[in-house]
Amino acid sequence: MSTGPFTGRIAAVTGGGSGIGAACCRMLASRGAKVAVLDVDRAAAKAVAAEVGGAAFTLDVGRMDANEATAAAVQAELGPADILVTCAGVLQRPLRAEEITEAEVARVIRIDQIGTWNSAMAFGRRMAMRAYGSIITIASIAGVRSMPLHAYSPAKAAVIEMTRCLAAEWGRSGVRVNAVSPGFTRTPGLQAEIERGERDVTRLEDASALGQMIMPEDVAEAVCFLASDAARAITGINLPVDAGWLVAGSWAAYGGLPAARGNAATRGRGA
């Protein structure tokens, strides 16, 4: 078993069966945590749990009663959760506002917004009673800037604001609540959209200051920092992990980002 900053800690990760959630499970476990992998996809949760020596739980985050039952089951099987990471989510096809159906809006809001609330409540209320805990919600850069994602963008903005509200609600109870907002991240979820032609890799890379996409491990590093006691004075923030996408966009009005300076042969090596 690995030891590290999370030795003796129990971490629950919703959407832990794939992408960013799976990367969080691996990193938390490699740094000592006992991990509960929560996912609506039972087989995916079991595979990641087996890999990290954790426990799998089947959960549809959109149902409050299911979140309550899962928080109780995690507590009974592993002990009370010290860390919750809410990665469960669905992406959305870019559509004109007039084209998106009521059913699609409801689907995205039910999982991305209400699902995050449900998990935070089920686990957070238990943390507050124990006066210890760290919750990290996974929002998105789409929650900070508008995109042609008329359900997803507002749902992620709501996640950022609910993070702030809960941070204030539970601060005196020893529970920190922070958001991480990934940029375009190479996960099975986004890869499927790239393969359907709904996202273009070159465009996604070019839109960021660093000229790159995000890897799931980049997001997991930020999550692990916020989950750890090293971040004990931090609550209520939204931390973008976006390769500088948020700072780069407004440069389009001035002709775009400047070309790279320096020697291409030594770039990235600090030489």
Binding interface with ligand NAD (CB under 6 A): 14-15, 17-21, 39-41, 44, 59-62, 87-91, 111, 115, 138, 140, 182, 184-185, 187-190
Known catalytic residue at 254:
no
Is the Cβ of residue 11 or residue 138 nearer to ligand NAD in the bound state? 138
* Number of alpha carbons in the 13 Å side-chain half-sphere of residue 108: 21
Least distance to ligand NAD, CB of residue 109, Å? 12
Alpha helices in 131-170 (DSSP H): 152-170
Is the Cβ of residue 62 or residue 133 nearer to ligand NAD in the bound state? 62
Is the Cβ of residue 63 or residue 174 nearer to ligand NAD in the bound state? 63
75 and 136 in contact (C-beta within 8 Å)?
no
178 and 135 in contact (C-beta within 8 Å)?
yes
Is the Cβ of residue 19 or residue 54 nearer to ligand NAD in the bound state? 19
- For residue 239, how far is the Cα from the chain centroid? 11
53 and 75 in contact (C-beta within 8 Å)?
no
Is the Cβ of residue 32 or residue 246 nearer to ligand NAD in the bound state? 246
Strands (E), 97-223: 133-138, 175-182
How far apart CA 69 and CA 51 sit, in angstroms, is 24
Least distance to ligand NAD, CB of residue 235, Å? 20
Least distance to ligand NAD, CB of residue 179, Å? 10
Give the contacts of 26 (CB within 8 A, at least 6 positions apart): 48, 51, 52, 220
Task: Return the structure tokens found at 59.
Answer: 């959960």
Catalytic option among 117, 152, 184, 245: 152
Residues forming beta bridges with residue 185, ordered by sequence position: 214
Least distance to ligand NAD, CB of residue 21, Å? 5
How far apart CA 222 and CA 87 sit, in angstroms, is 13
The CB density around residue 221, as the number of other CB atoms within 10 Å, is: 16
Least distance to ligand NAD, CB of residue 23, Å? 8
**What are the residue numbers of the active site?**
152
